[in-house]
């Protein structure tokens, strides 16, 4: 009896397997993951798990016994190597083949890699998996020189952990400002100041050209500058894992192209998470997102549609980042705004910035304000008076009814 085959062992895959059983699906559910671990959470990898504050079993999405109890077959350390849509069949690296009624592709993304002189030297790391972090942690010794290539969220989270563990930390960013791809100049300046105050050396407009070292990395080379490095972490973005889908003839364009039901160009195949390029009816455009809420919700929507419950994926994107004692929560895309309104005092490390387009809230960034962030999420799409947003004596809940 063929059932649902899920390719991938991350957030979307784990959620989809659980959702199938929650919905009462009784046929076979098989999850094929190439990592040796049951589905686990990635966000702690650059936060509590890197710090050593969280054990491996606490990072798991669900206890290993969950899959056994729910009769979900986990085939770990196994790669799906081919999809045959005509015969509804997946081939595995083990020569095994699995027939499916529905297939869900959750292959995620992988770190973009540098291809420069010396970039294969030991001591140069990428951060995607639990095993990557285990390798990085070995080099995070107090006093060591940590060089981070890329001033995005992952790089900056690693910087804050590095400072906490007593390393000398340097961030090299090729753009004019850190976080340039993902946030506004105001937020970039705030985070640059925060990291500088904590002792991180940030170099913007600085492009890495290679690495030097005999047996392992010793220096990072940028034009006429060379920075000493005992350990390097590269965080320069990801590329979606679409090769399997592409080879099967599924439409791909910056991700596996799906419709609002997370269905690919083949009616029996769905895709969810980092690997999917999906339409967002609230934003009126297609997106490929790299966030946990997106992966989980797309998994739920895929399952609902497989089981004949026509659900549409229509969520405002949101994300978070933890650096030092600051929790940043973001909703929407700040670049969509034409003005910004500050609520609170940035110097107190507790504030929110709202981004408005023609008087309507399109995005918000909230720092150390989790309660207000819940309201920020609900304000997206609402026309507001900026003076109300600015006024910290004004209860934002008053805007929700409007």
Ligand X SMILES: Cc1cc2nc3c(=O)[nH]c(=O)nc-3n(C[C@H](O)[C@H](O)[C@H](O)COP(=O)(O)OP(=O)(O)OC[C@H]3O[C@@H](n4cnc5c(N)ncnc54)[C@H](O)[C@@H]3O)c2cc1C
* Distance (Å, whole) CA 301 – CA 296: 9
The span of 35-43, 115-123, 180-188, 196-204 binding ligand X (CB under 6 A) equals 35-43
- Tell the smallest beta-carbon distance from residue 295 to ligand X (Å): 4
Give the ranges where 71-221 is alpha helix by DSSP (H).
130-139, 153-164, 185-197
95: left (phi over 0), alpha (psi -120 to 50) or beta: left
Which residues pair with residue 125 across a beta bridge? 233
The span of 2-10, 115-123, 348-356, 372-380 binding ligand X (CB under 6 A) equals 2-10
Q: Are 67 and 7 in contact (CB under 8 A)?
A: no
Q: How many residues does the chain have?
A: 402
SS3 (DSSP) at 146: strand
SS3 (DSSP) at 73: strand
* Distance (Å, whole) CA 77 – CA 321: 30
- Tell the smallest beta-carbon distance from residue 43 to ligand X (Å): 4
Beta carbon nearer to ligand X, 118 or 273: 273
* Four-point Cα dihedral 17, 23, 29, 35, nearest 10: 0
* Distance (Å, whole) CA 174 – CA 150: 7
- Tell the smallest beta-carbon distance from residue 151 to ligand X (Å): 15
SS3 (DSSP) at 397: helix
Q: Are 204 and 195 in contact (CB under 8 A)?
A: no
x-marked contacts with ligand X along 211-250 as a string, rule CB under 6 A: ------------------------------x--x------
Does 191 participate in binding ligand X (rule CB under 6 A)? no
Q: For the chain, how are helix, strand and coil distributed in percent, rounded to 5? A: 30, 30, 40
Beta carbon nearer to ligand X, 42 or 263: 42
Among the listed residues 17, 34, 83, 355, the single contact to ligand X using CB under 6 A:
34
Beta carbon nearer to ligand X, 222 or 275: 275
Among the listed residues 35, 99, 259, 260, the single contact to ligand X using CB under 6 A:
35
Beta carbon nearer to ligand X, 127 or 163: 127
* Distance (Å, whole) CA 169 – CA 149: 11
Q: Are 297 and 313 in contact (CB under 8 A)?
A: yes
Read off φ and ψ for residue 284, nearest 5 degrees.
Answer: 75, 30
Touching ligand X, residues 145-184 (CB under 6 A)? 154
* Distance (Å, whole) CA 259 – CA 277: 9
Touching ligand X, residues 63-92 (CB under 6 A)? 79-80
* Distance (Å, whole) CA 5 – CA 220: 44
Beta carbon nearer to ligand X, 112 or 261: 112
- Tell the smallest beta-carbon distance from residue 45 to ligand X (Å): 4
- Tell the smallest beta-carbon distance from residue 276 to ligand X (Å): 8
- Tell the smallest beta-carbon distance from residue 33 to ligand X (Å): 5
Touching ligand X, residues 266-295 (CB under 6 A)? 273-275, 290-293, 295
Beta carbon nearer to ligand X, 290 or 365: 290
SS3 (DSSP) at 102: strand
Touching ligand X, residues 37-56 (CB under 6 A)? 42-43, 45-46
- Tell the smallest beta-carbon distance from residue 290 to ligand X (Å): 4
Tell me the Cα Rg of the chain: 22
Beta carbon nearer to ligand X, 12 or 178: 12
The span of 105-113, 165-173, 186-194, 361-369 binding ligand X (CB under 6 A) equals 105-113
Touching ligand X, residues 294-313 (CB under 6 A)? 295
Looking up tokens 């849509």 gives: 85
Contacts of 157 (CB under 8 A, 6+ apart): 46, 47, 50, 321, 322, 323
Task: Number of residues interacting with ligand X: please give it, by CB under 6 A.
Answer: 37
Beta carbon nearer to ligand X, 33 or 344: 33
Beta carbon nearer to ligand X, 49 or 354: 49
x-marked contacts with ligand X along 330-349 as a string, rule CB under 6 A: --------------------
Q: Are 402 and 379 in contact (CB under 8 A)?
A: no
Does 7 participate in binding ligand X (rule CB under 6 A)? yes
Q: Which residues bind ligand X (CB under 6 A)?
A: 7-13, 32-35, 42-43, 45-46, 79-80, 106-109, 127-128, 154, 241, 244, 273-275, 290-293, 295, 319-321
């Amino acid at each position: 009896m063929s059932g649902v085959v899920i390719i991938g062992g991350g957030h979307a895959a784990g959620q989809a397997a659980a959702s199938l059983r929650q919905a009462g699906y009784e046929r076979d559910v098989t999850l094929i993951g190439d990592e040796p671990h049951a589905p686990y959470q990635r966000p702690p990898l650059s936060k509590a798990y890197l710090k050593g504050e969280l054990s491996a079993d606490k990072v798991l999405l669900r206890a290993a016994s969950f899959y056994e109890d729910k009769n979900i077959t986990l085939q770990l350390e196994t790669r799906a190597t081919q999809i045959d849509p005509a015969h509804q069949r997946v081939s595995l690296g083990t020569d095994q083949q699995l027939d499916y009624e529905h297939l869900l592709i959750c292959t995620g993304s992988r770190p973009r890699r540098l291809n420069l002189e010396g970039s294969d030297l030991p001591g140069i790391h990428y951060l995607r998996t639990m095993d990557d972090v285990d390798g990085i942690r070995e080099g995070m010794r107090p006093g060591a020189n940590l060089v981070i290539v890329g001033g995005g969220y992952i790089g900056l989270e690693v910087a804050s952990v590095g400072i906490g563990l007593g390393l000398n930390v340097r961030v090299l960013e090729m753009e004019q400002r850190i976080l340039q791809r993902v946030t506004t100049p105001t937020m970039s300046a705030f985070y640059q100041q925060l990291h500088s105050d904590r002792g991180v050396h940030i170099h913007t407009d600085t492009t890495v050209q290679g690495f030097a070292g005999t047996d392992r990395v010793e220096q990072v080379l940028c034009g006429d500058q060379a920075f000493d490095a005992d350990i390097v972490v590269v965080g320069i973005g990801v590329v979606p894992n679409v090769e399997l889908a592409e080879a099967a003839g599924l439409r791909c364009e910056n991700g596996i192209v799906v419709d609002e039901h997370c269905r690919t160009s083949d009616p029996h195949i769905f895709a969810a998470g980092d690997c999917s390029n999906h339409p967002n009816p609230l934003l009126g455009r297609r997106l490929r997102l790299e966030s946990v809420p997106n992966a989980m919700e797309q998994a739920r929507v895929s399952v609902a549609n497989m089981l004949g419950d026509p659900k549409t994926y229509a969520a405002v994107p949101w994300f978070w980042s933890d650096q030092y004692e600051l929790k940043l929560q973001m909703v929407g895309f700040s670049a969509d705004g034409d003005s910004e309104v500050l609520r609170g005092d940035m110097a107190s490390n507790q504030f929110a910035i709202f981004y408005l387009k023609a008087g309507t809230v399109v995005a918000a960034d909230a720092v150390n304000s989790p309660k207000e962030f819940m309201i920020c999420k609900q304000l997206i799409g609402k026309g507001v008076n900026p003076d109300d947003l600015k006024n910290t004596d004004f209860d934002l809940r008053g805007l929700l009814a409007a």
